[in-house]
Structure 1
């Protein structure tokens, strides 16, 4: 089964553009840059379409063939798909649960890491986060400015994804700076027994 984010996004795009061919679903999601923030590989979109069809959330409404090209399958959302879409969307809006951060396994093993490696990694992480924040700010401005050609512009709602990513990176940057400061000042020394880690 497709990951929940892929499932929701593909179902949502089919709903928005229906009747729609898989290539157009892929193109729309790529214009939102979903591969960056939702980890959706372009090929996984076709797999999600097949899964949604198998689960009877979408249905094939046409299979067109143009010349020597292979048949193009066209989809639309079923009544059950409409209900499922709204249920998934509602759950995400109301759920205030952060996903597992990839750094958490390293944080809980801080006392078993080399102090110098941790300090160097935290400093490098600070530089990367500062750079990511600058790029996100430029990206938001670029999206909102637009080019005037809707075929090539990133939709404005995608700027909100960049704003959320920016806010999360700011929070991570504050935490990283704080951790580095506490380690360097000696306020936190998880490498000493009895430290208030």
Structure 2
């Protein structure tokens, strides 16, 4: 992955929003919220203005005018520069074409789940599954409501996230079933390790041939 001068996803969102037309930061944030982008990252005012300042510092955007709406404070309108257009195209191409090998929080949790023991893991995965089911239901309803109102081009990341949630829910459900039914080998040895910290031989966790 390329080391970028402004690397936050909020920075990318600001650049892609200004790609359309000049805006002041408040308007850009409103556009992002209206398109559901706050589900991808948190739009906080302090962070937004810091990102805008960094984008301007590195020549990706530039101020074009100051505007005032009634008694509200004066606002600076920014536009994307040629350098900013090149940066956002290169950045998006990288995100789409280069798989992200960084482990996420769930991946990390799975790598050290042995300390909870099979019963603790079964219980926590149940809570995760309940949340995934709720998120899936909410996203399906939201997408159904937005279709016809919002172009699919603006919804593909929500479709992708929904597909990932569904795949994760299926995988978590299957793992819980293996834990609950005793199909996973070495459950008693695993419980012993979680209680004592004593590591059993690896053979305890190997599934017998034909199993």
Is the structural similarity TM-score above 0.5? yes
Q: Does 1:27 align with 2:30?
A: yes
Deviations, residues 8-39 of structure 1 (Å, cap 9, x unaligned): 11011112122x11111111111122221x22
Look up the match of 1:151.
none
Counterpart of 1:187 (choices 165, 175, 183) is 183
List alignment gaps of at least 5 residues for structure 1. Answer: 147-153
| 1:99–1:170 CA distance, 2 compared to 1 (3 A) | farther
1:32 touches 1:155 (CA, 8 Å); kept in 2?
Answer: no
Q: Does 1:15 align with 2:6?
A: no
Give the secondary-structure state (helix, strand or coil) at the position aligned to 1:172: helix
Deviation of residue 67 (structure 1)?
5.4
Deviation of residue 70 (structure 1)?
2.3
Structure 1 length normalisation: TM-score? 0.84
2:29 touches 2:43 (CA, 8 Å); kept in 1?
Answer: no
Aligned residue pairs total 188
Look up the match of 1:171.
167
User: Aligned partners of 1:33 and 1:118: how far apart in 2?
Assistant: 33
Q: Does 1:52 align with 2:55?
A: yes
Deviation of residue 62 (structure 1)?
0.9
| 1:24–1:156 CA distance, 2 compared to 1 (3 A) | farther
Deviations, residues 101-145 of structure 1 (Å, cap 9, x unaligned): 211222111221133221111222222212211111111100104
Deviation of residue 99 (structure 1)?
4.9
| 1:85–1:115 CA distance, 2 compared to 1 (3 A) | same
User: Aligned partners of 1:3 and 1:41: how far apart in 2?
Assistant: 15
User: Aligned partners of 1:183 and 1:134: how far apart in 2?
Assistant: 26
List alignment gaps of at least 5 residues for structure 2. Answer: 193-199
Give the secondary-structure state (helix, strand or coil) at the position aligned to 1:103: helix
Look up the match of 2:113.
110
Q: Does 1:128 align with 2:131?
A: yes
Give the secondary-structure state (helix, strand or coil) at the position aligned to 2:179: helix
Look up the match of 2:10.
6
Deviation of residue 68 (structure 1)?
4.4
Larger radius of gyration: 2
1:56 touches 1:78 (CA, 8 Å); kept in 2?
Answer: yes
Deviation of residue 64 (structure 1)?
2.6
